[in-house]
Amino acid sequence: MILETLDLKKYFAGKQILKGISLAIKRGEIFGIVGPDGAGKTTFIRSVLGLYRPDGGSVSLFGGAGSEYPKSRVGYVPQQFSLNADMTVWENIALFSRLYGLPEALWAARAEKLLDMVWLGDFKNRLADSLSGGMKQKLALICGVIHEPEALFLDEPTTGVDPVSRREFWQMLYRLNRAGLTVAIATPYMDEVELCTRAAFFNQGQIRLVGAPAELLALYPYKLFAVRADNLRLILRRTLDLPVRAAYLQGTRLHVALDGESGLPALEEALAAAGLGAFAITPVRPTLDDLFSFAAGLPGPAGPGIGRAADLAPAAASSGGAP
């Protein structure tokens, strides 16, 4: 096991940010730490790496207590670009390599290979400040793995990055993972969750759901329908008075969750009676976006019913699950 936390808590200025996080990440996984802004993702990563001192619970990295582990075994890519903007790509890599005490012949060979892997080989003499956002994150990734750690923690590394650079970034993560690197990545993007072995959905400092993407989708409890019309926002307001489980805009459609197909005629009749004009309602399969829209409203682990991660995915929540 790479990481195990039990009832992890963290407070800032009297406000509880982490509310008892229990989680396990197995060796060899690409583990997603997912949730909206303010969910506790960054605080969790910094707490398990020893950058913050937890206010309760326990952390075990590589079987050690808290932050008592060789720092060379872990790589970290923070949310904000934190490399030296006035140094070149090569100089930044050299600085990190020397901080880890790597011989020049060793790190230089690794750097050349990593730069070619992310198509930065022609930019090694360019100042970091002049790189695009995607290039900066690739450089940060190289600096995070130049010492060949066993586990890499990344905090929203692709936020604000263009789609091509995001795809290339994930290609590099997969190549590193196949070579034996365990990856824990915080992300607000549901499409990136699909690329993970498993994921934990954070909201308001708690874990709502844990599992592999397919396992998570199987937890969605309602029948989902897509409404297409020219006046979706008006229809959305109308659904507030209807017996629907959830209704929210999803791109150019309105997604409406019902207990079952038996509720569909009542929805159609109500919308027609409201004089909302032409509309079409079709059944759709839930996506991870739908699941997490649903999960965000669940009670936390201490609350009743379906909201408890341990109830929904007991194997994943307790033991780390199977890759």
In this structure, which topology does domain 3-217+297-319 adopt according to CATH?
Answer: Rossmann fold (3.40.50)
320 has a pLDDT exceeding 70: no
| Cα–Cα distance measured from residue 160 to residue 220, given in angstroms and rounded to the nearest whole number | 29
Query: Does the pLDDT at position 306 exceed 50?
Result: no
**Whole-number Å distance between alpha carbons of 5 and 251:** 37
Residue 18, both tokens: 């982490």
- Kindly list the domain boundaries of the chain, sorted by start residue: 3-217+297-319, 223-285
In contact, 323 and 198? CB cutoff 8 Å: yes
pLDDT at 237: 75
| Model pLDDT for residues 101-119, shown as the tens digit of each residue | 999 999 999 999 999 988 8
Domain spanning 223-285, CATH architecture: 2-Layer Sandwich (3.30)
Higher pLDDT, 283 or 262: 283
pLDDT at 312: 33
Over residues 16-45, the pLDDT tens digits come to 999 999 999 999 999 999 988 889 999 999
Stated pTM of the model: 0.83
Highest mean pLDDT among 60-74, 140-154, 252-266: 140-154
pLDDT of residue 279: 79
What value does the mean pLDDT take over residues 54-63? Answer: 92
- 182-187 and 30-34 strand pairing: parallel
pLDDT higher than 60, residue 307: no
pLDDT band at 67 (very low <50, low <70, confident <90, very high): low
- pLDDT (tens digit per residue) in 120-141: 999 999 999 999 988 999 999 9
Residue 221: per-residue pLDDT: 87
| Per-residue tokens: 145 | 């793995």
What letter does residue 120 receive in the DSSP assignment?
-
| pLDDT over threshold 80, residue 231 | no
The pLDDT mean for the chain works out to 84
Surface-to-core class of residue 292, CB atoms within 10 Å of its CB (0-12 exposed, 13-18 middle, 19+ buried): buried
pLDDT score for 185: 97
Residue 313: is its pLDDT beyond 50? no
